[in-house]
Structure 1
């Protein structure tokens, strides 16, 4: 309430007689009944007068009342009050006054909420686990009000006793009873002061051990700030679908690069990959393209006004996804046929055989330069070499690794293992040639 001039604006549960500021509606009622008994008699007499007037008005048999209403209606008609066009009078805008009052209240509301959040941050950041130390820590952060003279709960106006003990709000320090207390979960409190903190499920019951005791006013302010954070961080359906589509695109890029590498390996006649491996990778790329197309269609079908900016964004996303699928995922290199692969591998094998023959000739020339004793020793060692050759054991292990990697479509690992296997085979062939010589 406020005066006509620019006096201070009073807010709260104010007594209309003595202007005392009470803390709740129940306190205001008890205050008015106990201290303003005489004014209640006046109000009661006024209520009786209003009741009698209501009965007279609702009495349909009162002919005098009907005649009064008829005269009033007749006076308001054009016969007694003809219609005349009225001009617009002087007007005065109260927008500036409204904005000034609203800004002051919002600023006070925001300031109070920020103070509570600062206190909440100090409470939960360095809160000890020991109950006694925790209570001392809470009193150091927020001083508690002295409750020696407080006999009633300010919220429910019930008397404090042995069964109804006094408690304090951990954010403002005010006094209240247990029934009027509201508990804020500590994990939720940490999320409010630090939105980046990991959120945990709230399946347990919140009590004094795992929560903060708050009054209803402080709890509402903190809960409102939590709702604002959730609304600010909430993702729309459009954003969620777009992030999923981008995730599939990120998976498709290395898959396409791997497919090109595998195709080139087949055209080169290498045995690192086979045709089934490349077909499996092509099927994986096809599934990714299908998922990207479905998500882009869902984005384009989201309800929106035709001339809104979001409608253009959705259409552009759909077009970009279609272009990406067409240019990147559906324009893959054509696979070679089995006959082409066999022909390339046969030519590669012939080149390898020629290289082996040349290597064998080189070893025979080296044999001539060795002494008879060294050559005989090498023959005696070669007689028992095949029984426990470590190269054969390593090759068998690598072949098993290659088989497992192919099943799990880990073709990068397959390429590395095949390269190692070729080196071991080459070393083994050289070793066998030296033994035979």
Structure 2
């Protein structure tokens, strides 16, 4: 209540009621409420009761009148949406048939993709195309679709075989004679096998540019500067050692530091104390507690916290050097000592461990790929090429492993114990290489799209037996011809001793065909060994 009138509104505590007792009546906490506006039409009303009445009378009735119209609009929108959704599948199928499967390949203007291949169909030759027959199937070995209007009937512009739409979604640049021409060719539609067999597809290394000479030029100046600095410090260090080991400096002079100081200044010029106000190593100002010291190798003035005291066995006092000289000289000496301490064959042994681990991984991978080839499934170009690559990498690693073993065996050692260790390592490495090479089976002669069967295995074993038989025959023939060569060479030697030069010419002419026959037999034996 205020001035005898009751105001309607939110009841909030007044400023005077905050200090009163909580047990007083709630009506004492009411405050003055200002006039309010209608949130819909903006009319100003005296209190909340008037606002509620205004909303009920003016706005609620209007919304009830307009609600049926709004409901009719929503129902009509839902009906139109449902009717339009019934034709979505037909529109989607039509859109998928016209979908562009190709990339633009950098072309921003003109026809691209399928449109570009259609324009070049009349340019690339069709003489090698496969003839079309009724109920043709896709030439891809993994596809058995019948070629029709829906699946498509597309000729590969490279090989000429007929495929479905899905298996000709590749393109390459071909010349007029249907050869690969990535520079001046025309974009043509090809199959997957022709796409993967194009030159450069299996290259694992992209375009590279060596930066070695550039970085070598930058590094050479720094390395030369450090090497010159090391040689200068090494020369000064040797002169200091000879100074302290000579008879010019006695124990008394070393304790007084007078004569020794003058001799040290003859080796390197000391920097004046007045020229330096801050330490060049840490940058702090010299104080009573941070006294000046001279480095005996470079002559610079540094603080006592940035010098190291090094004691040699032939010196009477410690040698003071700065952190920079310690890094440039003594750290370099320690690195060279550690590097020279490790024998060279130890590094080769570490390489053997790396090669052995890689060989074990490759032989496991090769067995898995070979098992997939011989499992009876259709051979694909990807699996066949992958198996060949693994076998080739395994062979290259075997050569590197063998060359590393030879380096270890030929490395000179100083003690007999090291020689025994080296001999044991080489013997174990050779046995490991022999055992590993036994698991490297030859890849069967399979074509893409074929399957490995028991009949093919029998044929392979029969071919192997026949090759071994021919190899034995060639070996026997080679032995017989070598005996004949030996006899002819003896006859030539005797004819020369007896001065029968006419017979020598005849025998030399008869020796050449025998040697050529031996070379031919050796080539045949090597070819049979590769089977």
Fold equivalence (TM over 0.5): no
Structure having the higher helix fraction is 1
Give the number of the structure whose alpha-carbon radius of gyration is greater.
2
Taking structure 2 as the reference length, the TM-score comes to: 0.28
Taking structure 1 as the reference length, the TM-score comes to: 0.33
